[in-house]
Amino acid sequence: MAQFPTAPSEVDAAWLEAQLGRAGLLGEARIAAFSWQAIGTGQVGDTARFTLTYDRPCAAPATLAGKFASADPTSKGTAASMSLYVKEVGFYRTLASLIEVRTPRVYAAEIVDDGTDFVLLFEDLAPERGGNQLEGCDLADAEAAIRQAAALHAATRGHPAVLAADWLHGREGLSAEIGRLYHQAHAIFRERYDGQLAAEAMALCDRLDTRVDAFLTRQLPDPGLIHGDFRLDNMLFGVGNDAEPIAIVDWQTCAIGCGLTDVGYFMGCGIGSDLRRPNEAALLDLYAGEMSRRGVPSTREGLWNRYRIGALHGVFTAVFSAAFVVRTARGDANFLSMARGAAELALDHDSIAALDTLTETGTC
């Protein structure tokens, strides 16, 4: 049984005081009252904002954010089986301090041994402007995200703490299991969204389905830490009344991989084709420049094939996630948006051919 609250309704003043006291923020103060309300649109985790009052002035914040396992059994089961909760807790415990990416300060990061229940207690970054997958963003937001991607990838490329983190590698046989499940997910996705996705985009989904094992097992050059779900819903803009341009949240899909997976994912299913197409070259040049500035010499030309393959991560994620999390109207719109943008990028640059070439040559 968990020795920590596993839902917002289980949080009490004593537990909050213990976390804030350990952080050195409470002093002699005590919590006089607190309340909570659900926030966010996450599909495999539930998030709440806690509003607190104290019996005397102190350094503790007036609001906190808490994250818990999903109350929906389907979403919770999927997340636990994919080690998503284990990964997010592990990231905040051991890897967040390695990077200059803006992430929330964490006051508690606890998880049960089987990975099915957890709690994260965060700094609340409000007031901010939450990214919205369905509304898109402007070029300045996209540039801010690309800079954060480079900050993540340059700092962790080949880093011993990343490569040695057992919890990032996943349990034995997980990749093969995901491949088998993907075929089921593809069948569900195809039936559910037939006629809602352009025929050429659905055909690309079909082609990836026949190559998913090659996609999942490809050898990656110079691996480091990737976010894995690097899109607008997991970004906060204008943090603290525009004091900071952006923060990145929701690290439950972090993994060891190629940084261009995040970039291809963001440029396809993250921002959509209308913004991407006229700005694609400039954004890739920005990423390459930021990587070079941070000590990893890069050029757009040198990143190109990995970027093309990275676009397929958006197709993969949209198809897989749609089948194995609780179905909602926003979820349907979200997964269609992701699949549409990712497929359009992959078709623009023939990402399947890039994957096939990788399979034949072993180089990326």
The bridge status of strand 31-39 relative to strand 45-54 is: antiparallel
Q: For each of the chain's 364 residues, which pLDDT tens digit applies?
A: 679 999 999 999 999 999 999 999 999 999 999 999 999 767 788 999 999 999 999 999 999 999 999 998 988 988 888 899 999 999 999 999 999 999 999 999 999 999 999 999 999 998 899 999 899 999 999 999 999 999 999 999 999 999 999 999 877 788 889 999 999 999 999 999 999 999 999 999 999 999 999 999 888 878 999 999 999 999 999 998 889 999 999 999 999 999 999 999 999 998 999 999 999 999 999 999 999 999 999 999 999 999 999 999 999 999 999 988 878 898 899 999 999 999 999 999 999 999 999 765 444 4
Neighbours of 159 (CB within 10 A): 17
CB of 87 closer than 8 Å to CB of 143: no
N-to-C CA span, the chain: 46
| Residue 8 DSSP code | G
Question: Nearest-CA neighbor of 49 among 117, 114, 127, 102?
Answer: 127
CB of 153 closer than 8 Å to CB of 120: no
Question: What is residue 359's predicted lDDT score, i.e. its pLDDT?
Answer: 60
Question: What is residue 362's predicted lDDT score, i.e. its pLDDT?
Answer: 41
Question: Nearest-CA neighbor of 314 among 288, 346, 362, 290?
Answer: 346
Neighbours of 331 (CB within 10 A): 16
Question: What is residue 287's predicted lDDT score, i.e. its pLDDT?
Answer: 98
| Domains and their CATH numbers in the chain | 8-123 (3.30.200.20), 129-361 (3.90.1200)
Q: What type of residue sits at position 8?
A: P
3-state secondary structure of 328: coil
Q: Which two tokens stand for residue 31?
A: 């919590």
Question: What is residue 22's predicted lDDT score, i.e. its pLDDT?
Answer: 96
Question: What is residue 74's predicted lDDT score, i.e. its pLDDT?
Answer: 87
